[in-house]
Structure 1
Amino acid sequence: MPTVTPRDPDNLEALRDASDVLGLDALLSDDERATRDRVRAFVDAEIRPNIADWFDRAYFPAELAPEFGKLGVLGMHLDGYGCPGRSAVEYGLAALELEAGDSGLRTFVSVQGSLAMGSIHRWGSEEQKNEWLPRMAAGEVIGSFGLTEPSAGSDPSSMKTFARRDGDDWILNGSKRWIGLASIAQLAVVWAQTDDGVRGFIVPTDAPGFHTTVLEPKGSMRASIQTELHFDEVRLAASALLPEAKGLRGPFSALNEARYGIVWGALGAARDSYEAALRRSLAREQFGVPIASFQLTQQKLVNMVIELQKGALLALHIGRAKDAGTLTPTQISLGKLNNVREAIAIAREARTILGGDGVLLQHSPIRHAANLESVRTYEGTDEVHTLILGQHLTGIGAFS
């Protein structure tokens, strides 16, 4: 056999070039690569050196919100009102690089930009857009998104939170659960039943009767904040109503935006896990040789790269469709279901290559594997996306 030279575990760029077996980098434009590289550099400088400590302490770095604004990733895909107005593919690449740092940090960008800002941008009045979006895009105001309830997760139509009219005002009562960021947010976009169906409201978090409870301790998404919201006779002015949002179409449109980001983001967690395993396998010796020289280790690495490359092709195809205006919710479900499921498998397999050291937080796969359990659950569980696809294939709804 020909003599070969093992790859240098410290030359990450060379390892990435070798791992791009299909040459997918060439499918990106110069602007797309520039966006990716800019966000990657931010993650390398601001997130990687600190994330193990943040995760261990269950600390969300809210002080980075203005830095995310300067980076241009808050409401990245929205136009006007101080928003960056970048393409869907650029936003996807940013989500991938952010989640390579940590799912919790990508989730912040998603909650802020896709859920809260996206709802105001699509369904709000001009006054609401001008009041909130520029400051949210700059990271000066943090928003949250209240849809899920203790007894209404996969079935939001069964929500019990209710807003009743009182003259020109609205009175809000009920609760929401698993709501990101609400304890540090200045506003919450809240969806509630009314006598006119489901409507959306911009609710100031300092309104009398608005209370938050942080959900902890958690074994996943520890560098993030999830809360329960409680509304006790919260009085809202008529101007709090999102005038264009009527029915579940409003929150579902926001969920599809968030799900799109997950299609890309999960690949970041998977890629980071794979790279940690690859570098470890090249650096660690057993029986006198790098463990990368063993057939079983190479099989694991190859299987990871195959799924990473397939997932990247899927994400890019979905992103191009979104930019072309042809993307369907069913296609997003396929992407979310596949890429998160494969990302979890990659993170778990990567941990095995790290051996016992793989349970230490100085190595990322165990953290990514834990985080991805949350990513797998929110914005539609595996079961929900499976049934969405099943209904598409058969024409039969199996949700009840």
Structure 2
Amino acid sequence: MIEPLAFGPAVDSVEAGLRTALERRLPAATELRRRLHAHPDLSGEEGPTRDLILAELPGRPVDAVAGTGALVRVGGPGPAVAVRAELDALAVTERTGVDWASGRPGRMHACGHDVHLAALVALCHAVGDTPGAPPLVAMLQPREETYPSGAHDIARSPSLAEHQITAIIGAHVQPTLPRGEVAATPGTVNAAADEFTVVVRGRGGHAAYPHLTSDPVLALAHVVVALQRVVSRDVDPTSSAVLGVSTLTAGSAPNVVPDEATAGGTVRALSERIRDQVHARLEEVADLVARAHGCEAKVSITRGEPVLYNDSGLAARAGAHLTDLGLTLSRPLLSFGADDFSYLSAVLPGLMMFVGVGDGTDVRMHSAGFLPGDDAVRDVALTMLAGYLAAAERM
């Protein structure tokens, strides 16, 4: 881990200049957001989006990272603050009706990444326009929405040390919070998230002769029901976890007992200890229940993002800056959602803030109708500025 440096007293003297410069850049950032929204790229295919952002950024040099990602330095040499924004869109067909909707069926910025990118561009220009502003590294991250994670790759890149990055800042739109509120919660804020598959193998045959088969469909059904007790009976009720089965696949004909049946789902936990406990019980329960039905079970678990932990010092200082910038601190916000920003905050002091875009409707992220207003660009940019200032005070 790169150790944070001592407090930098020069930060206060440039804050007003940064705010003024940022406000000046917001109209162009709003127009950029609309261009990005109209031309989304899926995970792993973000090259055009990256190149569009690079053409808008003032900084150099550019370091390629994680395939289609990039780091862009704004400012001089020495220790720097990194601010992350995600490049990828989702495989969703948009239904918003705006004239700048996605022009690519099956691709949509349904998670706010277009807003994050445009806000980061505005912040980079503000830093470049303000004499004395500490160096900033814009982290253009690919593959936030899929595995393998782009943040995982960047966290292991030598570029972090080469740029002397002392802290990492992120901001994400959040429709469960009203517009104008921002959560800068210290400690754990997002769960670890893993995916699992249970394959139950039996002995197939004619459905008219069940006594000559070992039915994996019946066995898997009991496995799914039995797994519901893992969180309710095996996990300490003062802790938190989710074990959910989301997919079931079996058979090809009504009169055939298949040889195998498959279930898939997710495990989420707010601590590594509970995470490992649920994994162990998942494997044990699946094995024992399948064997009780004359079958066998094989469990495979793909470990995803670790727990996302916010540095308490960064959270406190950013909260003060958010208030100064006219935003409202929300209640502490914890979520069983996951974000691969957690790979970055595991190797650097990190802060992920959630920016309210709630408008009174029930439209949520990842839906075909999710479309934060243009004012979200300003709120996310100000939130990134607050985090940048908080991190710069450590330098």
Q: TM-score under structure 1 normalisation?
A: 0.26
Q: Which has the larger radius of gyration?
A: 2
Name whichever structure is richer in strand by fraction: 2
Q: Taking CA–CA contacts closer than 8 Å with sequence separation of 6 or more, which of the two structures ends up with the larger relative contact order?
A: 2
Name whichever structure is richer in helix by fraction: 1
Q: TM-score under structure 2 normalisation?
A: 0.27
